[in-house]
Amino acid sequence: MSDDDVPFRILPRINDRNRHFWTGGAEGELRFLRCQDDGTYVHPPTSRCPKCQGKNLAVEAVSGRATVHTFSINVQQWMPGPEPPYVVAIVELPEQEGLRLTTNIVNCAPDDVRIGMPVQVVFERHEDGDDVVYLPLFEPAP
Ligand SMILES: [Zn+2]
């Protein structure tokens, strides 16, 4: 996708706790914190594992695959952003039950999106001052 095609987005504020998530796309990786003691993925990023309360967390990449958990088609231009209609979806990652992201489904006609559909991550690059942010969006998996 060329820079001219990238829609305006309200971008996340990058900090030391979430940088791995928003910049992993530079290497094509969807990254989460993961507890090194019990394997729990932690999202959104926090300083402790929600399962064991441990602080032994490290950044790990996941497969980038997901399935559509639920979605809606936005037909209204509520704020500056992608041209409607577009799909706002919650996708669930196969690595852990309940590990979900709110995202957009792209490279697919909105009417073709289905619950349970396999999708894969694709990153949309944005420059924001000194930061380069890679928003994880999802497209149909081949
Ligand atoms: Zn843990």
Give 111-135 pLDDT, tens digit per residue: 999 999 999 999 999 998 888 999 9
Residue 43 pLDDT greater than 70, yes or no: yes
CB neighbour list of residue 37: distance below 8 Å, 6 or more residues apart: 49, 52, 54, 56
61 CA → ligand 1 middle, Å: 17
42 CA → ligand 1 middle, Å: 9
Global pTM value: 0.91
The rounded distance, in Å, linking the Cα atoms of 138 and 30 is 11
Average pLDDT of the segment spanning 11-34: 95
Residue 77 pLDDT greater than 90, yes or no: no
70 CA → ligand 1 middle, Å: 28
